[in-house]
Amino acid sequence: MGPRHMARWLRRSALAVIAAIAVATAQAQERFSIFVGSDPSNVERMLRLAKLRDDDKVIDLGSGDGRIVIGAALLNPKLQGIGVDIDPKLVQQATEAARAQGVAERVRFLHQNAFDADLSGVSVVFMWLWPELQAMLRPKLLAELKPGTRVVTNVWDLGSWQPDEIDADGPSISLWIVPARIDGYWQWDLPLRGGTRSYGAIFEQRFQRAEGFTRVAKRRALLREVRLRGDELHVMLDMTLDGIGFARHEFSGKVRGDAIEGSVRILLPSQADRNVEETLVLPWRARRTATSSYFAPTGLDAP
């Protein structure tokens, strides 16, 4: 099923929705968010921004007549989709549409409250709900989705969690990448010049934005350019190490729960000639700790 077929189907669905809105009554208004189907061009933009992959499992929280999930399944012949909606009539309508479009084997619609949706294994979340409802779903998304999951919304945002990308070519379509949790204390060792240097680090995190600080022996330094995208973490550190001199570190790793696995590229003065730089690439294995050496007393002989 090509994109042209999908566009035709979306246009037909749009007309059906206008008719449905006309009969939307006070009963619908009791819910947080009434049914208004996304405009076909916005469905296409949402699907594009999600950068769908074969192994994706997408969910639409408040799936209405199923147009987003069915559109995703028509666009990518391998992905799996789920739609949940609080209105059983819409669930029925979406189920019939999936059957009519030949995607019923990969797509299912459930009569469910979005707050009860099973998000395990989900890699893309679509939403177009009232802003308050989306904001109230945010803790569930952050608690239950695995790092790297894409969240795409039509029009409304997710409060103070800033989007990672915005398609502003029309009503805002926004994309968030669920960040790994790095907030807290970390520790790692690096074998440098025959000795082991122990790094104690602290990250402070608000959604995908993070700042960091580190301590090696009695010196402290800021971790610079902390970049977190899903489970991928990149950090720069410029620091003078006792007995070695000024060392530039570029850390890159994947956050796996209480561990970070990756590598660090270190530029440091060569032992033979301090005016010449040497590059080392070492494994970077950090682990989360309960306390941090960062707070240990410095003493008056601190550099």
Binding site residues, ligand SAM, CB under 6 A: 31-33, 35-38, 60, 62-64, 67-68, 84-87, 90, 113-114, 128-129, 154
DSSP one-letter string for 21-73: HHT--HHHHTSSS---PPPHHHHHHHHHHTT--TT-EEEEES-TTSHHHHHHH
Nearer to ligand SAM, 90 or 103 (CB): 90
Nearer to ligand SAM, 32 or 185 (CB): 32
118: enclosing H helix or E strand: none
Task: Output the six-digit token pair for 141.
Answer: 């998304």
Nearest approach, Cβ of 150 to ligand SAM (angstroms)? 16
Q: d(Cα 239, Cα 141) in Å, to the nearest integer?
A: 37
Nearer to ligand SAM, 56 or 87 (CB): 87
Nearer to ligand SAM, 80 or 187 (CB): 80
Say if residue 264 is exposed, middle or buried (CB neighbours under 10 Å; 0-12, 13-18, 19+): buried
Q: d(Cα 210, Cα 226) in Å, to the nearest integer?
A: 6
Nearest approach, Cβ of 133 to ligand SAM (angstroms)? 6
Nearer to ligand SAM, 43 or 182 (CB): 43
Nearer to ligand SAM, 128 or 251 (CB): 128
Task: Output the six-digit token pair for 111.
Answer: 């009569």
The arrangement of strands across the sheet holding 124-127 comes to 107-111, 80-85, 57-61, 124-127, 150-154, 173-177, 165-167
Nearest approach, Cβ of 113 to ligand SAM (angstroms)? 4
Nearest approach, Cβ of 155 to ligand SAM (angstroms)? 9
Nearest approach, Cβ of 121 to ligand SAM (angstroms)? 19
Q: d(Cα 119, Cα 149) in Å, to the nearest integer?
A: 10
Nearest approach, Cβ of 157 to ligand SAM (angstroms)? 15
Nearest residue (beta carbon) to ligand SAM: 62
